[in-house]
Amino acid sequence: MAMGMIVSREALQQELAARRMRGERIVFTNGCFDILHLGHVRYLREARSLGDVLVVGLNSDASVRMLKGPDRPIVPQSERAEMLCHLRWVDYVCIFDEMRPNALIEVVQPHIHVKGGDYRPEDLPEAEVVRRYGGQVVILPLVEGRSTTNIIGRILDTYAPKQAFP
C-alpha cells in the first residue's frame, strides 16, 4: 500500500473529487496527534475501516497552542504529519490553522466524520457542518489510559527534578 500524502486543501479537494467519482467512501477525522501512541493508532485503524479513504485534519502548531496551551505541541507539525503518513490506514493529511476543523470539513465533505469517545455528537461544534451536507458523525471508543496528556504526566513524574523540601 502506498504511503499517505501531506496535501493542501486545494490538492485534497482534487484528490477526493476523483475518488468520489469512483464511488469511494470518504472518512475524515482530525486532531493534534502529539506524541503518537497506541490509542491514536487503534483509533485511526478503526476510522479507516468505516470507508475507503481516510483523511486526517492535523492541527497546526499554532492551533495546538490555542487549544492546549503554550507548552504544546511537543512534536512539531511537520513531524506529526509525516508520522501519520507512515500509518497504512492514513491516505491524506491536511494541516489546518483554525481551532475547529469546520472549514476543512466543508472542503472534504466526508461521508463519515469520526471523533474519539471523549466527545458526544451533540457536543461537537462541527457536527452541524457534517449534517448540513448529509454526512454522518461516528464516535469511536477511547483506548483506556492512552493519551498524550498521560504520557507527558508519566514522563514528568519519572524524570522531572524532585523538589527537596526541608
Q: What percent of the chain has pLDDT over 90?
A: 73
Q: How far apart are CA 31 and CA 125, in angstroms?
A: 14
Check pLDDT > 70 for residue 164.
no
CA distance 54 to 48: 5
**Residue 155 CB: number of other CB atoms within 10 A?**
12
Q: pLDDT tens across 67-106, in order?
A: 999 999 999 999 999 999 999 999 999 999 999 999 999 9
Structural domains of the chain in order of their starting residue, each with its CATH number? 5-159 (3.40.50.620)
- The C-alpha atoms of residue 109 and residue 133 are separated, in whole angstroms, by 7
Contact, 146 vs 44, CB < 8 A?
A: no
115 confidence band (pLDDT: 50, 70, 90): very high
- According to the model, what pLDDT value does residue 45 have? 96
pLDDT given at position 51 = 98
